[in-house]
Chains A and B, each alone.
Chain A
Amino acid sequence: MKTKLALALTGMLLASTGLARADGELNIYNWGNYTSPEMIKKFEEKYKVKVTITDYDSNDTALAKVRQGGSGFDIAVPSQSHLPIWIAEGLVQETDVGKMENAKNIMPEWSNPDFDPGRKYSAPWLWGTVGVVVNTDVYKGPADSWGILFDPPAELKGKVNIVPEMSDILYAAIKYNGGKLCETDKAILKKARDTLVNAKPNWVAMEYGTIEKMTAGDFAASSDWNGSAFRQRLAKPSIHYFYPKEGFTYWSDNVVVLKDAKNLENAKLFQNFIMDPENAAMLSAFARYANGITGSEPFMPADMKGANELNVPADKKDKAEFMRLCDPATQELYTKIWTELQK
């Protein structure tokens, strides 16, 4: 009796996997809470493909996992700071995105980026900035400075969160002390370390989940990404996003196809699919970041037009620069400061 049951179950399992295979699969490895379910559903229905999404929380996690090989993912969405490593390490394959049907929709400023000249590997997903969010019910004063995190006003003491993206936080601390991106001047690095170490008692946590915890009142201020800030404001209008006057960074996430992708054709279809204005707008509508696709605005929710989070103010435009990864020696110094900070 038992054997019969087991056989029947195995048969059913085989049948179900067989069915799924017949219709195709696509395994996406992407940042958590970042992929529009509506857009995935549309893709699944259009191409009869079953999409599976797995989350990561940082570029480093994603890189480490994919480097080990055999991850089973077809697609990943690394930031531009890390994309050159993915290419150099041979983790991704050339899919000639620049020649795909929908590539004509890519905005000129994103069509030939430094991190992927000619768009040989990657399709633009979303892009944004790193800044500061503050719950203005708790603190009403000026907040366009990294000082909100590093030297918080009395109202915010003990309520500040730091998103533990090492590169972003070190950049902020270095800028706060007058340094530059990938600073190697030890005097400035020392100041940056002291800034961080002295600021830490005023922090409540170092966590990624800001959308949920800012709106639930666990944090009153945090380092954050602009789209995340946007979603917080929609849930709690008193939360505002600020562009630090000392300088801040741009980032852009890009869809690549992994070298060992088992579903190459579906992955290519997906790259082309997200460059369609209507689909790109779905991504933006969900994650609340800007995309790099021309003509997607009409499909976006009305409240995204002119939103503070999506438009860098004119007087701050020259303060922004593209985030990039520093050379290994500098990175090692940064890691030491980071460990020192958490001892």
Chain B
Amino acid sequence: MSAAPDLITRQIQRDIRNRWLLSLPALLIILLAATGPLLIVVVYSLLTPGDYGDVKWVFSTEAWVSVFFQRDMFDDTLTPASAHLSIFMRSVNLSVMTTVFTVLLGFPTAWFIATRPARSRDLWLFLITIPFWTNILIRTYAMLEVIRNEGLINTFLMRSGLIDKPLQMLFTDGAVLAGMVYTCLPMMVLPIYASLEKLDFRLVEAAYDLYATPFRVLTKVILPIVKPGVVAGSILVFIPSLGAYVVPILLGGGKTMMVGNLIGLQFGQGRNWPLGAALSITLMVVVMIALLAYVRYSGGKGAKAHG
């Protein structure tokens, strides 16, 4: 009598074992390729900087202290690290602005594509992905050629007599923002398009039939449905923007630092690898907080919308 349940238990056990065995390669990769390097970063953040880069294997929390506090270089008092804070805030600020602008530009673009006849949609999507064929460095240089003092726009404006001195567009905050929006836009368009594609346009018609204004249709019908796409796009844009390195250097002229550049400095001329490691982890924590906020936000309402 007891044989049957026993068999089932054994079956289940074998099943569990198989699952573990089957997921072993994935787990190993996660361990070796993701967790391992991360642990190295954590360990490095707790060491002493070597004289000419690299680290000395001497435990120290100095790097973590200097992430949050700065020892005044002249009288040795500790004050909150205003330099790091303002650099972090600048990065967060830039990322938020980039996300907002990509939504503002990306949503109409995605809408336009989603409302084309099914056959031509593929072509439009294809056009959106074309910039991905080119390296980000080259795309950014192309942008530089357009906005520099003797670049395309200024030359055109000067020739047509609209201005007599070139407009300083390159090396401004606006140039960095424009560059970020330009490079991140496809990452916003594609997820929004993916959720717009599933939108049943009969719902929109129904809303109009019930005398909803276009604005109400947008806010009450369309936006709630495409929200998961907008949120996913925002994550895809926000997180890489936080670590932006190339665009701020090329279009911002390297004058205003972003977190990515601050971390880069520590591994180069700064010769303070522990501080660089500690700053990287701090950045990662900021990203993690943003992600957690996203999970709570979309996991609650977004999932229900799908269900």
Contacts and interface: CB of A to CB of B under 8 A. Distances in A.
A316 interface: no
Contact of A63 (B53, B73, B87): B53
Interface in A173-196: 186, 189-190, 193
A217 B150 contact: yes
B268 A60 contact: yes
Contacts of A218: 148-150, 170-171
B149 A217 contact: yes
Interface string A312-331: 00000000000000001001
Interface stretch (B117-125, B214-222, B254-262, B289-297): B254-262
Interface residues of A, number: 38
A206 B73 contact: no
Interface string B125-153: 00000000000000000000000111000
A343 B83 contact: yes
Interface string A136-178: 0000000000000000000000100100111000000000000
B227 interface: no
A63 B52 contact: yes
B83 A340 contact: yes
Tell me if B's interface is mostly helix, strand, loop or mixed. loop
A343 B82 contact: yes
B302 interface: no
A337 B73 contact: yes
Interface residues of B, number: 35
B253 A205 contact: yes
A58 interface: yes
B287 to A, nearest CB: 21
A191 B194 CA distance: 57
Contacts of A207: 249, 253-254
A314 to B, nearest CB: 34
B269 interface: yes
A59 B85 CA distance: 29
A190 B73 CA distance: 9
B197 interface: no
A17 interface: no
A51 interface: no
B271 A331 contact: yes
A64 B266 CA distance: 11
A207 B51 CA distance: 26
Contacts of B262: 339, 342
Contacts of A332: 272
A305 interface: no
Interface in A209-243: 216-218
Interface in B249-303: 249, 252-257, 261-262, 265, 267-272
A333 interface: yes
B74 A204 contact: no
B70 A336 contact: yes
Contacts of B84: 343
A158 B252 CA distance: 13
Contacts of A303: none
B272 A335 contact: yes
A341 B128 CA distance: 39
Nearest to A82: B52
Contacts of A339: 83, 257, 262, 265, 270
Contacts of A186: 73-74
B173 interface: no
A85 interface: yes
Given A61-B268, A333-B73, A338-B269, A206 B52 contact: no
Contacts of B86: 343
Given A190-B74, A218-B170, 7 more contacts: A67-B53, A216-B149, A328-B51, A328-B271, A335-B265, A335-B272, A343-B257
Interface of B: 51-54, 70, 73-74, 82-84, 86-87, 148-150, 166, 168, 170-171, 249, 252-257, 261-262, 265, 267-272
12 contacts: A58-B269, A60-B53, A189-B74, A204-B255, A205-B254, A206-B254, A217-B150, A335-B265, A337-B73, A343-B82, A343-B86, A343-B257
